[in-house]
Chain A
Amino acid sequence: MKTRCIAVFALASLAAVLGGCASATAVRVQPWERATLADYTMRPDRDPLGTQLDEHIYFSREAASGGRGVGGSGCGCN
């Protein structure tokens, strides 16, 4: 009886874990659900002064600037 309970528990745990891995809806934001990610506030360059300060720190540290050409927010469209 005890062995059977352990076996059921082990099988249920395995199904839950594997199901979680396989479930695309659980682990991935679908293309049609990205409204919040596409919001302006999600843009890394939404604050010009902040971007300028970051660039200055980056230049001072690395002696290089630019090369951050990824624009837009996070909707992943196209």
Chain B
Amino acid sequence: MIPPSIHSNRGAAWLRPALLGALLAFTPALRAQIKVGDSFPSLQSAELDGARPDTAGKVLLVDFWASWCTPCKASFPAYARIYGDFSPRGLALVAVSVDKVPADYAAFLRKMAPPFATARDVGQRLVTMVRVPSMPTSYLMGRDGRVRFIHEGFHNAGTEAEIRKEIEALLNEKSAP
């Protein structure tokens, strides 16, 4: 004869793994997108195949792109102009490709010949962490490494003008102590 107190403990014992299972099942839905105000994951520790420039204390623009994404092709000349104008004043720009096929990535870069740093997100780990809402998406970080502006898609001159204005504002902010 088992006392009632032991009965109740056994009940709790089977309930715990079941609740844990339910929690694990919901885990993908709990992963959140990177939002304005969040810190951006470190590019140095990400598994990137390509250039990783020194971004410490700089205003950083990270653009997620792919060779199969048509607006990404339109964005590269604009980013080249932005980089040319603002890099001497402290802008770092890294274009992160989500291409799974290295040859597609290389062919795109041969054609576009961007002056800024590019890298391929091997295994799409960084983009999965960031959870970009659309392709392309660019994240503009202040000197403190926090996300200040997010641009979903690329809408030609309008997006370029907005990004220029935002970079100007961020560069004019005082450096973090």
Residues of A within 8 A of B (CB): 4, 8, 11-12, 14-16, 18-20, 22-26, 30-35, 38-39, 72, 75-78
Q: How many residues of B contact A (CB 8 A)?
A: 34
Indicate if the CB atoms of A15 and B18 lie closer than 8 Å.
Answer: yes
Q: Which of B21, B68, B153 has the most CB atoms of chain A within a 10 A radius of its CB?
A: B68
Knowing A24-B29, A32-B64, A77-B136, the reply to whether A19 touches B22 (Cβ < 8 A) is yes
Indicate if the CB atoms of B26 and A22 lie closer than 8 Å.
Answer: yes
Q: Which residue on chain A has the smallest CB distance to residue B121?
A: A32
Q: Does B60 contact A (CB under 8 A)?
A: no
Q: Which residue on chain B has the smallest CB distance to residue A38?
A: B68
Indicate if the CB atoms of A78 and B66 lie closer than 8 Å.
Answer: no
Q: Does B99 contact A (CB under 8 A)?
A: yes
Indicate if the CB atoms of B68 and A22 lie closer than 8 Å.
Answer: no
If A15-B25, A32-B132, A35-B101 are given as contacts, then 13 extra A-B residue pairs at C-beta distance below 8 Å, sorted by A number, are A11-B22, A15-B21, A19-B25, A19-B26, A30-B128, A34-B135, A35-B68, A35-B99, A38-B66, A38-B68, A38-B69, A76-B134, A78-B71
Indicate if the CB atoms of B70 and A77 lie closer than 8 Å.
Answer: yes
Indicate if the CB atoms of B21 and A32 lie closer than 8 Å.
Answer: no
Minimum C-beta distance from A30 to chain B (A): 8
Indicate if the CB atoms of B28 and A31 lie closer than 8 Å.
Answer: no
Minimum C-beta distance from B1 to chain A (A): 15
- Name the one of B29, B101, B153 contacting A77, with C-beta atoms under 8 angstroms: B153
Give Cα A20–Cα B11 distance, bound, in whole angstroms: 26
Indicate if the CB atoms of B127 and A32 lie closer than 8 Å.
Answer: yes
Q: Does B91 contact A (CB under 8 A)?
A: no
Please, which residues of chain B bring their CB within 8 A of the CB of A4? Answer: 11, 14
- Name the one of A11, A25, A32 contacting B18, with C-beta atoms under 8 angstroms: A11
Indicate if the CB atoms of B134 and A12 lie closer than 8 Å.
Answer: no
Minimum C-beta distance from B79 to chain A (A): 16
Indicate if the CB atoms of A23 and B124 lie closer than 8 Å.
Answer: no
Minimum C-beta distance from A62 to chain B (A): 31
Please, which residues of chain B bring their CB within 8 A of the CB of A35? Answer: 66, 68, 99-101
Minimum C-beta distance from B94 to chain A (A): 16
Q: Which residue on chain A has the smallest CB distance to residue B68?
A: A38
Please, which residues of chain A bring their CB within 8 A of the CB of B133? Answer: 31
22 contacts between A and B (CB under 8 A): A4-B14, A11-B22, A15-B25, A22-B26, A22-B28, A23-B28, A24-B28, A26-B28, A30-B131, A31-B137, A32-B66, A32-B124, A32-B128, A32-B132, A35-B68, A38-B68, A39-B68, A76-B134, A76-B135, A77-B69, A77-B135, A77-B153
